[in-house]
Amino acid sequence: MSFVETNQERCQNCGGVKEFDAVVSAIVCRNCGGRRAVERKAAKRQSLEVAIRGQAQDKKWTSEVEVMRCNSCGATEIFRKGNISDVCPFCHSVHIDRPDEGKGNPPGGIIPFKISREQAFEAIDKKVKSNKWASRAFKDTFRVDTIKGLYTPVYCFDSKVEGGYSARVGETFQVRKNINGQWHTVNEVRWRTVNGRVNQVFEDILIEAGNKVSTYTLRELEPYNVKGALAFDISFLKGFSASCATKEIQQGFNQAKAVMDGRIRELIKRLNNAALIQDIQINVRHNNTQFKYLLMPIYVATFNHKGKAQNLFVNGESGKVVGRLPKGSKKVAGAIIGGALLAAAGVLIYLFASGILG
Ligand SMILES: [Zn+2]
Ligand SMILES: [Zn+2]
């Protein structure tokens, strides 16, 4: 199944279709080759405090875009007016609604696509060919027109963190002990209480803001050149579509705080030379927290496997491929039987890992 072309513009010279060309980073007419540059300014940060108080200048995305909602999988996408897709890019369903609401605010920045759809196809094809567990049927039927360029929304946080912590940190050591008349070497932990100050600047903590690409997938797709994000211009969407942010900024920040707490925890372990940590109390203030609402370039390949729509993802900047390939059923059975025999040697894990892309 192929997609209808989305977000197109007609060339004034020849009437041809103009699209954002990822490789040359300009709007290009497919017919006459006429080019137009897109203005490139750096993406702006916003203050979190101002955004949460609702005082940000809300220029709503109104007349220039339309929203598509998929009744099968829940995907919500933005299109330039008049260019809406009839087919869901995630599940190929044609059960599409066009709700009036749900556009939210336009993003503050965008990381434009750098590789073409054909290059994304080649990246997947290379992975498929080198993966001996991949389904033969998938190898034979996978085509470039099952791939769609999609901008997915993320929040990107910067925060200055100050405060204190206390924790119990432990180091392990070995002792000889006499147990029931026999000498054994036993591991024991020596715990001590530590406390100190935290003074840390975090930058570019990425949290997904939509509902169709998981945090896990986003982490796998990283890195992106977040520092090079450009101010949003709707021209970048020509030939692509974009998912809407469905997450409130406060909810996104709560997730970002959890990520930062995890990093602080690792920092405390390092500072105290500790192998183990428990009873950790982190009491910090976030100062001058800023965020960018960005669109990230992802190619989504959608295919049917055993009656279910599945996706592979490609980083639209670097060509990195993420997701599980469908496995051939005979090969899977062989892997499981072989794995059971060799499980004691830990080979099972290797067999499963070798079937996973990334
Ligand atoms: Zn033209
Ligand atoms: Zn769908």
| pLDDT tens digits for range 301-356 | 988 887 888 899 999 999 999 998 887 765 444 444 444 444 444 443 443 444 44
Distance 162 CA to ligand 2 centre (A): 43
Question: What integer pLDDT is reported at residue 62 of this predicted model?
Answer: 60
Distance 234 CA to ligand 1 centre (A): 20
Distance 35 CA to ligand 1 centre (A): 9
Distance 72 CA to ligand 1 centre (A): 38
Distance 249 CA to ligand 1 centre (A): 41
Distance 33 CA to ligand 1 centre (A): 6
Distance 85 CA to ligand 2 centre (A): 11
Distance 93 CA to ligand 1 centre (A): 33
Question: What integer pLDDT is reported at residue 352 of this predicted model?
Answer: 43
Alpha-carbon dihedral sign for residues 87, 90, 92, 93: negative
Distance 149 CA to ligand 2 centre (A): 15
Distance 322 CA to ligand 2 centre (A): 19
List all residues 6 or more positions away from 138 whose beta carbon is below 8 Å from its beta carbon. 128, 303, 305, 325, 326
Give the rounded distance of the alpha carbon of 266 from its chain centre. Answer: 23
Question: What integer pLDDT is reported at residue 58 of this predicted model?
Answer: 56
For 67, the token pair is: 């929203």
Question: What integer pLDDT is reported at residue 3 of this predicted model?
Answer: 37
Report which bound ligand comes closest to the CA of 72.
2
Report which bound ligand comes closest to the CA of 9.
1
Question: What integer pLDDT is reported at residue 10 of this predicted model?
Answer: 81
Report which bound ligand comes closest to the CA of 97.
2
Report which bound ligand comes closest to the CA of 86.
2
Distance 74 CA to ligand 2 centre (A): 6
Question: What integer pLDDT is reported at residue 6 of this predicted model?
Answer: 53
Distance 237 CA to ligand 2 centre (A): 20
Report domain extents, the chain: 9-172+189-326, 327-358
Distance 28 CA to ligand 1 centre (A): 8
Question: What integer pLDDT is reported at residue 67 of this predicted model?
Answer: 80
Distance 9 CA to ligand 1 centre (A): 10
Q: What is the pTM of this model?
A: 0.77
Report which bound ligand comes closest to the CA of 88.
2
Question: What integer pLDDT is reported at residue 37 of this predicted model?
Answer: 87
Distance 323 CA to ligand 2 centre (A): 17
Distance 319 CA to ligand 1 centre (A): 29
Distance 241 CA to ligand 1 centre (A): 22
Distance 214 CA to ligand 2 centre (A): 15
pLDDT tens for the chain, 358 residues: list them.
333 345 567 888 998 888 888 888 888 998 999 998 888 899 888 889 888 887 555 566 666 777 888 888 888 887 777 666 677 878 888 787 777 666 677 888 999 999 999 999 999 999 888 888 887 777 777 888 889 899 999 999 999 999 999 999 999 999 999 999 999 999 999 999 999 999 999 999 999 998 888 888 999 999 999 999 999 888 888 778 888 788 889 999 999 999 999 999 999 999 999 989 999 999 999 999 999 999 999 999 988 887 888 899 999 999 999 998 887 765 444 444 444 444 444 443 443 444 443 3
Give which of 260, 249, 241 is closest to 203, Cα–Cα.
260
